[in-house]
Amino acid sequence: MRLLYFAPHQLWPVTSGARLRDYHLAHGLALRCEVTFLEIRQPSEANAPPAPPCGFERVVTVVKDKSYGLANMTRGLVGPVPLTVLNYWSPRIAAELEQVLREGRFDAVQVEGVHLSEYLPLIRPPIVADWHNIESELMRRYGENTQSLLRKAVARRTAALIRNSERRLIEGCRAHVVASEREREQLLARFPEAKIHVVPNGVDVAAFPRAVSSGKSLLFVGSMDYHANVDAVTWFAREVWPEVSRRWPELEFVIVGRDPVKAVRELARGRVRVTGTVDEVGPYYESAFAVIVPLRVGSGTRLKILEAMAAGAPVVSTRLGAEGIEAVDGRELLIANTPAEMLAALQAVPERRAGLAGSARELVERRYDWRILADRLYELLVDVASGGDVLYPQA
């Protein structure tokens, strides 16, 4: 099988959840079929090819136009296409896509998300859409949590336009992949006839030794230019950390992730450390007292939780932060939604550390290893390419 994997971002370096998902799934598929990876690079990014061994037949990089231009911002507000989609459309990228399609003679195309929905009319082979998030839900939740009335209004309008683009994505693709059963149910409620399958986010279990972490850091891991992560760490620093710091004077709050925005950088004082991009996140998990995931907005499945589980680090998360992961509160992780609940969960970590680590590691080995997930995606793509009914049972 010859597959075109079309992503709205550069694949390497793997510095975000979206890139992690694309890298591991595309690499897993390349072990089974011929994969051409078409990536859209930000103008500010260096042209860095994927580190070997990816096994791709070919990597094609096209540079995106500058985002948030005045014309796109105006069109994005009045519709019908949202700014989040317009920012990824250009005639130059369309021409490159058509050239790659002519040269490749592909059996199937995998498109990574609604951001690329305007390119669907150019694609003739059957398409599988991979929904990293339900973007309209993410935008709606952002609007509900922001304090700015203007941002609320813009988010509400943008969410409605994204829903329209999501409909075009549903109608333009043969089958769809989401990261959780919850998201599958959400989309089926809107589009009952759609062929929607669950391929969760995963973790490279072999990259993490089977061990139980111990240390003196409360660790948060994530891209620190992503608004949901910024909201999470600033809320935790404001509402929870002062009391944690008083009760556990030996602990340090460590925020690990690329491109921290000003609001995050300003948190770095006292026993709060902001690292920016790091070469390896493994040592941070190993030295963690606990990994915290205090997310209040967002969608999808958190790779940071799966990594922590593989690394043997106890996880304390809001219910929304753990959304989409088949983990049980008190067995594989601890759920805490309020400052008081987070304090109680952290108090319980020392005596429950070993039990949480063992159960969590077993879960990711059985359910969330990337190799298992790539096999599942490959079966779907073969079915789509061969004209099957894409209705085999869900795992």
State pLDDT tens for residues 74-110: 776 777 899 889 999 999 999 999 999 999 999 999 9
Angle at 365 (CA atoms; ends 362, 367), nearest 5 degrees = 100
Residues in the chain with pLDDT < 70?
48-53, 67-70, 72-73, 76, 298-301, 390-395
pLDDT at 391: 53
pLDDT at 49: 64
- The answer to whether the beta carbons of residues 90 and 64 sit under 8 Å apart is yes
Task: List every span in the chain annotated with CATH 3.40.50.2000.
Answer: 2-202+370-385, 205-367
CA 365 to chain centre: 20
Domain 205-367 of CATH type 1.10.3080.10? no
* Helical pair 149-172 and 135-145, crossing angle rounded to 10 deg: 170
Which is the CATH superfamily of the domain at 2-202+370-385?
A: Glycogen Phosphorylase B; (3.40.50.2000)
Q: How far is CA 242 from CA 32, 337, 353, in A?
A: 51, 17, 23
pTM over 0.85: no
Q: Do β-strands 334-335 and 127-131 pair in parallel, antiparallel, or remain unpaired?
A: unpaired
SS3 content of the chain, % helix, strand, coil (to 5): 45, 15, 35
pLDDT at 138: 85
Among residues 116, 358, 384, which one has the least CA distance to residue 213? 358
